[in-house]
Amino acid sequence: VNFASDNNAGICPEVLEAIVAEAPEVDAAYGWDRASARLERVLVEVFEHDVWCLPVITGTAANSLALAATNPVWGAVSCHELAHIVVDECGAVTVAGSGLSLDPLPGEHGRLTAQTLDRRLRTRRDSGVHTPAATGLSLTQATEAGTVYRPDEVAALAAVAHERDMVVHMDGARFANAVATIGATPAELTWRAGVDVLCLGATKGGALGAEVVVGFDRRRLRDDPERLRKRMGHLLSKQRFASAQLVAWLAEGTWLRHARHANAMAASLAEALVAQGVHPIHPVEANMVWVHLESSAVERARRLGASFYVESEHDDGTQEARLVTSWATTSDEVDSLVRALSQA
C-alpha cells in the first residue's frame, strides 16, 4: 500500500476524460486556445474575482514564476522553514528570481504566525543597500505538516506583510485539501484574506500534471510573468492540455470532492492509529498524518508492504513518518496500512 505521496496516485477519471476529449481537437498553440480561455473564465467564477492566470506543469515552476514576477531581484521572501520553496525546490526560486532570496522562519505544526513574522521583520538586520529587502511573504496551504491556515490567520499574516508593502504568495499545491477542510470559499482563503498570488495545484488532486498561477492584483507585478514563464522554459506549446485538465478538475466541484475524500481517508487513518496508541505529531487537518515510529518498526512495516517516507531521525531512535492519502486512497488500503504498522 502506497502512502508515500499524493503524487503517487494516478489520474482521476474526470481529468483523463478531458484529456481524451481534447486529444483529437486542433487548436492554437502557446495558450491562445479555447480551453485556456475557458480556464480563465472558470477561475474568475471559482474565485469571484478578476484574475491573471498562467498554467504550468510543476508546482516548482508555479512557485518560482509567481515569486519572480512579484518580487524584485534584490528582495527576500519570508516563509516557513519547512516550506517546499526552501527545502524541496533546489533553489528554483532564486534562479527564476535572479537572486531573489528566502528568509525561513520557525512555526509550530508547519504554520507561521503573524507575531513571528512581525517580530522578524522588526528585528532583522537591515543595512540598507547591503541587505536583501523584505519584499514578499509565502504561505503554504495546506502546510507541509498537513495543517491549514484559517482565513483569519491568513488575514493577520497578510496584514503584517501589506503594512510593509510586501506581496503575499500562497503555495496551494494542496489548496483543495485546505478548502475542503475549512469549508470557507476559495475567495475567503485568498484575496479576501490578502493573498495577492496563488499557485493552485491540481496534480496532487488527480491531474496528470497541471498547476496554475492565479494573480488577483496586477499592481503587484514587478515583471512580465508571461516573458518570465517563457524564459523558464515553461510556456507549453500544447498548453490547452494543461488548461483542459484544470477546467475538468475545477468543474462541478470535482476538485473539492476528491480533496474531501483524501482528507476523510487521512482522518480515518489517524483515528485508527490513535486507537493503537500511536498519536499524530501534528493535527491532522488535510490529507497527511505524521507519526513517530521506531526505526526498526519502519523497516518491518516496509517489509510488510507499506510504502511511506520518513523525513527525520531523532536521537531516541524514532523517525518521523509521513503518511499521505489521495483522491484514490481506499478504506481497504487504510486498513492494510494500519495492520502493517501495528504488526510492525
Ligand X SMILES: Cc1ncc(COP(=O)(O)O)c(C=O)c1O
Question: Which residues of the shown chain bind ligand X in the complex (CB under 6 A)?
Answer: 58-60, 84, 140, 144, 171, 173, 203
Give 140 or 297: the residue with its C-beta nearer to ligand X: 140
- Cβ-based nearer residue to ligand X, 15 or 173: 173
Cβ nearer to ligand X, comparing 201 with 280 = 201
C-alpha cell at 154: 491568513
Letter for the amino acid at 169?
H
> Cβ of 118: how many Cβ atoms within 10 Å?
17
Minimal distance in Å, beta carbon 90 to ligand X?
10
Nearer to ligand X, 84 or 240 (CB): 84
Phi/psi class of residue 12: alpha, beta or left (left: φ > 0; alpha: ψ in -120 to 50)? beta
Report CA-CA distances (Å) from 195 to 44, 78, 249, 294, 343. Answer: 15, 14, 22, 40, 45
For residue 271, give the C-alpha cell. 483515528
Q: Please state the closest distance from residue 259 (CB atom) to ligand X, in A.
A: 14
In angstroms, give the least distance from the CB of 193 to ligand X.
Answer: 18
Nearest approach in angstroms of CB 201 to ligand X is 6
Residues 6+ apart with CB under 8 A from 196: 70, 167, 168, 169, 215, 216, 217, 220
Q: Cβ of residue 199: shortest distance to ligand X, in angstroms?
A: 7
Q: Select 58 or 319, whichever has its Cβ closest to ligand X.
A: 58
| Residue with smaller CB distance to ligand X, 89 or 272 | 89
Considering the complex, what minimum distance in angstroms separates the CB of residue 203 from ligand X?
Answer: 6
Name the minimum Å distance from CB 335 to ligand X.
Answer: 26
Nearest distance, CB of residue 171 and ligand X, angstroms: 5
Of 140 and 338, which CB lies nearer to ligand X in the complex structure? 140
For ligand X, the closer CB: 59 or 225: 59
Amino acid making up residue 192? R
Q: Which residue is nearest to ligand X (CB)?
A: 59
Specify the residue, 58 or 336, whose C-beta has the smaller distance to ligand X.
58
- Nearest-approach distance from CB 138 to ligand X, in angstroms: 10
